[in-house]
Amino acid sequence: MESAQLTVADKAIEILRQTRDGDTLEPRDLKLVEMAVNDCVFRRT
């Protein structure tokens, strides 16, 4: 599956899967994943 076809939730699931359910992420990085899934991350244009 290409990255362009993945939803934010799909990407977050993959990040969590590859980081032992987030155990190997720094707290700020885990928070960023959470915020992205909850649609709290905004793009700058």
pLDDT tens, 15-41?
999 999 999 999 999 999 999 999 887
* Identity at 1, one-letter amino acid code: M
pLDDT value at position 39?
86
Distances, alpha carbon 41 to alpha carbons 17, 20, 34, 35, 44, in Å: 21, 23, 9, 6, 10
Please count the residues of the chain: 45
Is residue 17 within 8 Å of residue 8, measured between CB atoms?
no
For residue 32, what is the DSSP state?
H
What is the SS3 assignment for 30? Answer: helix
Compute the average pLDDT of residues 3-20.
90
| pTM higher than 0.85 | no
pLDDT at 3 over 60: no
